[in-house]
């Protein structure tokens, strides 16, 4: 007796197997979400300095080039020409001394330093303006977290009321995520942001006071 494959049953069998396998992988991923996220964050933390370096160089390099070539180099060349003209007026017929001032190197170093200072000032100003609003938003999120968790739990209970086992697992998972997020926001992120705000505020006030003292002294 020859056995014949029914394509219809074969199709549904493969489909059911793939669905079950995908569900198993999905739920295993949910159960190991913390380990997976830790691995992803660890990998990203290794790449972060390199990515930041490329982004900063891409943004600041044109600014440094503009400050160096049209501004500083031209200024140094003008100063050298003025000194040469002054020497020729004061010492007619004599050969001017050779140019030993490294215009390109000094202009490059100064342009990079000026660009970094400008970038730090702009970044400090942006953080000084936006950080208080961000702190208020995160504080409101932490305070409203129980309400959000209750709403999500009600929605899950209503949606999965016919699947009590899945409902219990999803509620446990969402509760763990919300607790972890709330703990991270309240115990780690907010204190760090407050420390950054205090540090920036004190430094900005110190810079302003020094600038005012210099202006008053002059």
Residue 2 forms part of a structural domain: no
Residue 20 forms part of a structural domain: yes
User: Total domain count for the chain?
Assistant: 1
Residue 103 forms part of a structural domain: yes
Burial of 112 (0-12, 13-18, 19+ CB in 10 A): middle
pLDDT in the model for residue 42:
77
Residue 121 forms part of a structural domain: yes
Report DSSP letters for 3-53, one per residue: ----HHHHHHHHHHHHHHHHHHHHHHHHHTHHHHHHHHHHHHHHHHHHHHH
Residue 161 forms part of a structural domain: yes
pLDDT in the model for residue 1:
46
pLDDT in the model for residue 77:
86
Distances 154 to 2, 27, 178 between C-alpha atoms, Å: 56, 21, 14
pLDDT in the model for residue 3:
45
If the chain, 218 residues long, is cut into consecutive pieces of 10 residues, what is the mean pLDDT of each piece? 53 70 69 67 73 77 86 86 83 76 84 83 78 77 76 76 73 74 74 72 60 48
Print the domain residue range for 183: 7-217
pLDDT in the model for residue 44:
72
The Cα–Cα gap between 18 and 11 comes to 11
pLDDT in the model for residue 140:
80
Residue 1 forms part of a structural domain: no
pTM of the model: 0.47
């Amino acid at each position: 007796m020859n056995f014949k494959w029914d394509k219809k049953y074969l199709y549904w069998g493969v489909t059911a197997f793939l669905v079950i396998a995908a569900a198993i992988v999905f739920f295993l991923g949910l159960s190991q979400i913390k380990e997976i996220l830790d691995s992803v964050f660890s990998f990203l933390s290794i790449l972060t300095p390199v990515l930041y370096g490329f982004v900063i160089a891409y943004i600041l390099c044109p600014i440094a080039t503009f400050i160096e070539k049209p501004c500083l180099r031209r200024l140094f060349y003008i100063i050298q020409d003025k000194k040469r003209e002054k020497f020729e007026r004061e010492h007619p017929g004599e050969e001017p001394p050779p140019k030993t001032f490294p215009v390109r190197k000094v202009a490059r170093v100064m342009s990079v330093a000026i660009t970094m200072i400008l970038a730090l000032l702009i970044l400090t100003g942006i953080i000084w303006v936006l950080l208080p609003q961000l702190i208020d938003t995160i504080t409101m999120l932490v305070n409203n977290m129980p309400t959000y968790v209750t709403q999500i739990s009600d929605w899950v209970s209503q949606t999965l009321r016919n699947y009590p086992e899945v409902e219990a697992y999803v509620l446990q998972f969402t509760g763990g995520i919300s607790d972890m997020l709330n703990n991270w926001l309240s115990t780690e992120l907010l204190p760090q942001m407050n420390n950054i705000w205090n540090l920036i505020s004190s430094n900005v006030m110190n810079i302003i006071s020094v600038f005012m003292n210099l202006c008053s002294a002059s």
